[in-house]
Chain A
């Protein structure tokens, strides 16, 4: 059962990723990324991390993707021209990507982490639920938690400065 779910979600995630890269129309790329994100949420559930899966669906597939859809609809999803400014780009990029994958696979499989081949240790029922994550966030990782909230605030202000409407004749 677990293997069936894993392979279904893995095919969904990989298919979504390939769809993002291969689709000509940016709107379809965004939709493919939503498929990818939902499949990843299933994988997170299989890894018994329920809170991350929920955050993935709510934050990513919900909020972030709505933002993408809005911007694609605003900018207009013009198809990329078939004209290639860099000769050989279409041939070289997959080759380099395949080389990167081979390199990563060698790095993982040749590492001496013996637990890689196992299912991981037995965990109790509360592993990865919101209570455990919240306890870690507010007790052990309080400073990174606050730093990320400041980062979010800075990003919001930066986006307003970048995309806000300029006043006539004045500064930004």
Chain B
């Protein structure tokens, strides 16, 4: 398969994740959609690394995985903290920081 296919698939996945973030209101599902977008970026990085023919893009993808893991840990910590305070798990009702 030519590299184009992978890049088009990656942009399709990225757009799907963006639709999810715009559409959903549960913070857990929004985090899942963030994962989708990060993974689409990873796919593009690995595809470009194959296109150029060296592994440096794959190291970049590994670092993106680390960042995604950190984001999950902090995000889920926030969700657990929201749940403990008996606040609604809905991004439209958590409006304390609205300017």
Chain A interfacial positions (CB closer than 8 Å to B): 2-3, 6, 10, 13-14, 17-18, 20-21, 26, 29-30, 33, 36-37, 40, 43-44, 46-49, 51-52, 55-56, 59-60, 63-64, 67-68, 71-72, 74-75, 78, 80-81, 85-86, 89-90, 92-94, 96-98, 100-101, 104-105, 108-109, 113, 115-121, 123, 127-128, 132-133, 136-137, 140-141, 144, 148, 151-152, 154-156, 158-160, 162-163
Contact = CB atoms under 8 A, between A and B. Distances in A.
Interface string B27-46: 01101110110010011001
B80 A163 contact: yes
Measured as residues with beta carbon below 8 angstroms from the partner, the interface class of chain B is: 35 or more
Interface in B1-36: 1-9, 11-20, 22-26, 28-29, 31-33, 35-36
Nearest to A118: B2
28 contacts: A2-B1, A6-B5, A17-B17, A20-B29, A21-B19, A26-B26, A33-B32, A52-B61, A55-B65, A63-B69, A64-B68, A68-B28, A68-B32, A71-B28, A80-B26, A85-B25, A93-B19, A98-B15, A108-B8, A116-B3, A127-B55, A132-B55, A133-B62, A148-B67, A155-B71, A156-B73, A158-B74, A163-B81
B99 interface: no
A136 B56 contact: yes
A122 B18 CA distance: 35
- The B contact surface, by secondary structure, is helix
Contacts, number: 231
